[in-house]
C-alpha cells in the first residue's frame, strides 16, 4: 500500500532565474536537479513548511513566500511506495544570494547531513527538474 505524504515545493525566482540544487554525493542520473522542498510536519501549514524547507536547505533565511501556485499529486514509485500531495509556492530572496554555493541539510539530527550545491538556471529551462517538480512552473507570471 502506498503512503500519502503532504509535500511543499518552492520555486524561488529572481530576475528570470530559478533556484535549484543538486545532491553533491549522488549523480544527476540518480537524483537529478531539484527545487527546495520537503515534508509538511504535523500541525504545520504547507506555506510554513515551504519557507522552513527553503531556509533549512539553502542555509539562508532571507526569503519571502509570495503566493501559493497550486497543488499536484505525484506517484514517486518505484523510488518509494508513496503518493505525494505537492503544494507549490513562489518565493523570492530578500537579500542578494551567491550565483552558486554549497549547503548542508541537517534533517533535524535524525540522519547524516545531506550535502547540496545550489545554483540558478534560467526559468525557461525549468523543464529539466526531476520527478515532476516543474509541474506548476507555468503558473508563474
Which structural domain range is residue 128 located in?
3-139
Residues 8, 30: Cα–Cα separation, whole Å? 21
Which pLDDT tens digits describe the chain residue by residue (141 residues)? 899 999 999 999 999 999 999 999 999 888 899 999 999 999 999 999 999 999 999 999 999 999 999 999 999 999 889 999 999 999 999 999 999 999 998 876 778 999 999 999 999 999 999 999 999 999 998
Nearest one of 90, 92, 106, 94 to 47, comparing CA atoms? 90
pTM: 0.95
3-state secondary structure (DSSP) of residue 17: strand
pLDDT of residue 84: 97
Strand partners, 21: 34, 118
Residues 29, 98: Cα–Cα separation, whole Å? 26
pLDDT of residue 70: 98
3-state secondary structure (DSSP) of residue 13: strand
pLDDT of residue 64: 98
CATH number at residue 34: 3.90.79.10
Residues 7, 123: Cα–Cα separation, whole Å? 22
How many structural domains is the chain composed of?
Answer: 1
- In contact, 54 and 64? CB cutoff 8 Å: no
DSSP string, 34-102: B-SEEEPPTT--HHHHHHHHHHHHHS---EEEEEEEEEEEEE-TTTSSEEEEEEEEEEEESS---SEEE
Amino acid at each position: 500500500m502506498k503512503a500519502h505524504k503532504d509535500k511543499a515545493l518552492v520555486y524561488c525566482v529572481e530576475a528570470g532565474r530559478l533556484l535549484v540544487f543538486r545532491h553533491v554525493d549522488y549523480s544527476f542520473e540518480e537524483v537529478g536537479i531539484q527545487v527546495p522542498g520537503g515534508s509538511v510536519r504535523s500541525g504545520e501549514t504547507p506555506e510554513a513548511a515551504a519557507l522552513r524547507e527553503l531556509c533549512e536547505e539553502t542555509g539562508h533565511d532571507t526569503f519571502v513566500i509570495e503566493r501559493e501556485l497550486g497543488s499536484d499529486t505525484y506517484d514517486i514509485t518505484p523510488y518509494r511506495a508513496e503518493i505525494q500531495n505537492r503544494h507549490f509556492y513562489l518565493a523570492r530572496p530578500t537579500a542578494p544570494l551567491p550565483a552558486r554555493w554549497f549547503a548542508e541539510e541537517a534533517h533535524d539530527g535524525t540522519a547524516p547531513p545531506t550535502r547540496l550545491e545550489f545554483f540558478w538556471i534560467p526559468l525557461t529551462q525549468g523543464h529539466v527538474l526531476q520527478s515532476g517538480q516543474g509541474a506548476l512552473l507555468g503558473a508563474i507570471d
